[in-house]
Amino acid sequence: MAQADLHAAVLDWYGRVARDLPWRRTRDPYAILVSEVMLQQTQVARVVPRYEAWLDRWPDDASLAAAPTAEVLAAWVGLGYNSRAVRLQEACRVVARDGWPRTAAGLRALPGVGPYTAAAVASFAFGEQVAAVDTNVRRVAQRLGRGEPEALLPPGRAADWNQAMMELGATVCRARDAACDGCPVAKRCASAGRVQIAPRARGGTRERFEDTNRWARGRIVEALAAGGPLPAMDPQRLRRALDGLVRDGLVVRDGDDVRLP
């Protein structure tokens, strides 16, 4: 299959089956950045209502930049990795002061914005011809056997192509359950029908989420956001989690007083 045929097949498929997600209906860089940060390691179904509520409360970068950080953290509770909320607000403070960078390279300079997020915002909001390469996109490209994702970009269609490749990886060319029968390019895919799935690691005991430091940190932020006392847990575990939260700027400690910033 020629490259142009590959592009046509994937883009036509995406045009027919794409999920109607709210961040796909806008070119506002702020709204797109919010969605990309929220979607990091969080399922789409959980993000949609939180994303819409967030934009109702803080509709633009200036309003988020001016918000009390404690309120921002409280609104983020349940999405995980609370430091993302702080970095998002920091990025919006830079933008509110200096304006939006319009390239992936410029966006990389914003707090908390990595290569993928920068490319996603640059292509979706500003039309830059750049590949947004997340785990799904890289997996699809590797299975197709067509080289690196950057080499697959169709001329002038980066935004649509990035969305289509993400959709294909999320819904069809999945990591552990490739649905090759539903793939628009299965007939010309190097891996069709014989995708190699790496076996899950065996042996040892997998740590429960409730036993992790991340869980303890999340419970502390949730308790402080609700205006209640610190959660009951082992004193050493509580101290270790608090020390990390203070170090990351997510909690302020003043003597015995502990609060959100």
- Ramachandran area for residue 208 (φ above 0: left; ψ -120 to 50: alpha; else beta): beta
Give the phi and the psi of residue 11 in degrees, each rounded to 5.
-70, -35
From CA 107, how far away is CA 89, in angstroms rounded?
14
237, amino acid identity: R
Residue 109 has a CB neighbour count (10 Å cut-off) of: 12
52, amino acid identity: E
Q: Are 73 and 225 in contact (CB under 8 A)?
A: yes
Helices (H) and strands (E) in the chain, counts: 12, 2
Residues belonging to the active site: 36
Residue 213 C-beta-side C-alpha neighbours within 13 Å: 9
Q: How far is CA 104 from the centre of its chain?
A: 16
